[in-house]
Amino acid sequence: MENRTIYVIRHGKIKIEDNQRRYIGQLDLPLSEEGIQQAQRLQKMLEPMNISTVFSSDLSRCQHTAQIVAGCTTVKHVMQKDLREINMGDWEGCTFADITRRFPGEFKARGADIGYYRVSGGESFADCYKRVVTAFHESINSSTGNVLFVGHAGVNRLLLCYILGMPLANIFKIGQDYGCLNVIASTGANYQVKLVNFRSKS
């Protein structure tokens, strides 16, 4: 069985008009200057890791991060719609404060059942989990050697929940900061998490 290393990163910080907490979901926002710098630091860390293939969400913040990390190499880059962040439906783009004011009952209900509550017009984390895990296995099975996944906070947390056997209710116990690195060792179908939410400062 082939021993492989799977690197999973979150895209760099996005460019938004204010610093209020928002439900970004699948809104297609670009990287900020800080986000570009975070991607450049990841490129330095991952350059020696002999990565054969990069799999990324097709949203621009992940595409751009992947392009920076891959640098000028000829590494294969595969964009996958199924690696997009959770679809937040009617809440997309709204601030947390706005949702708590407009939909206090729904906000409370989602908090009480974070894994399975589905926002109107969107997905639950359980819905997102199914497509992310399927995309993960398809990607692993279609590649060899060390690979890189460039994803989102929710997507990466779901993938780590899957590898660790954690219930979705605990999803937010896993940190995923902008520009962070997670490392998973793989021997055949056996996976072991080696590193979570690491960020380089230089």
Average pLDDT, the chain: 96
Mean pLDDT over 30-34 rounds to 97
Q: Answer whether 132's CB lies under 8 Å from 82's CB.
A: yes
| CATH code of the domain containing 25 | 3.40.50.1240
- The token pair at 112 is 């009480």
| Residue-number span of the structural domain to which 10 is assigned | 3-198
Mean pLDDT over 70-87 rounds to 92
Taking only the tens place, the pLDDT of each residue in 87-144 is: 999 999 999 999 999 999 999 999 999 999 999 999 999 999 999 999 999 999 999 9
pLDDT value of position 17? 80
Name the H helices within the chain.
Answer: 33-46, 60-70, 96-102, 104-112, 125-141, 153-164
> How many independent structural domains does the chain possess?
1
Pick 200 or 105 by higher pLDDT: 105
Give dist(CA 185, CA 192) in Å, integer.
5
Q: What is the pTM of this model?
A: 0.96
1 pLDDT above the threshold of 80: no
DSSP string, 54-110: EEEESSHHHHHHHHHHHTTS--EEEEEGGGSPPP-GGGTT-BHHHHHHH-HHHHHHH
